[in-house]
Amino acid sequence: MADLKDLLKRAQEVRTKYDELNIRDGHKKWDVSDYVAGFTGDVGDLVKLVMAKEGKRRGENVDAKLQHELSDCLWSLLVIAAHYNIDLEKSFAETMNELEARLLADERSASYDYAK
């Protein structure tokens, strides 16, 4: 399985190919706001697929489409992070540490005996 650095590299390679395609077709290269807009659309599609997976919408080939859409969303996030030079591995680890610390603090406050 590829690690995050491999995924980032591959995402950038595909982004470059899309830039070349857009130029060849007489369009402008996408900037980061275009990738964010595309990501927003992908998240909307993801919501619909999750609803279908949960039996709240109709859909065909939902599992395959769900895998595809999650990958589209990940690709957009990787491209956006690269644009802003964000180290996603480091940021993810820090965010998970913050969330775990918050959960631990909530557990401690919930278990505090106020009757003492």
Q: How far is CA 87 from CA 30, 69, 94, in A?
A: 22, 23, 11
Q: Which domain holds residue 41?
A: 4-84
Query: Per the domain annotation, does 108 fall within a domain?
Result: no
Query: Per the domain annotation, does 36 fall within a domain?
Result: yes
Question: How many domains does the structure of the chain reveal?
Answer: 1
Nearest to 39 by CA among 13, 71, 9, 8: 71
**Pairwise CA distance, residues 103 & 100, whole Å:** 5
Residue 63: give its domain's CATH number: 1.10.287
95's CB contacts (< 8 A; 6+ apart) are none
pLDDT at 68: 98
Averaged pLDDT in 10-residue chunks for the chain of 116 residues:
91 97 97 98 98 97 98 98 96 97 90 63
Query: Per the domain annotation, does 64 fall within a domain?
Result: yes
pLDDT at 107: 86
Query: Per the domain annotation, does 65 fall within a domain?
Result: yes
pLDDT at 112: 67
**Pairwise CA distance, residues 36 & 74, whole Å:** 12
Q: At what angle do helices 62-83 and 88-111 cross, to 10 degrees?
A: 110
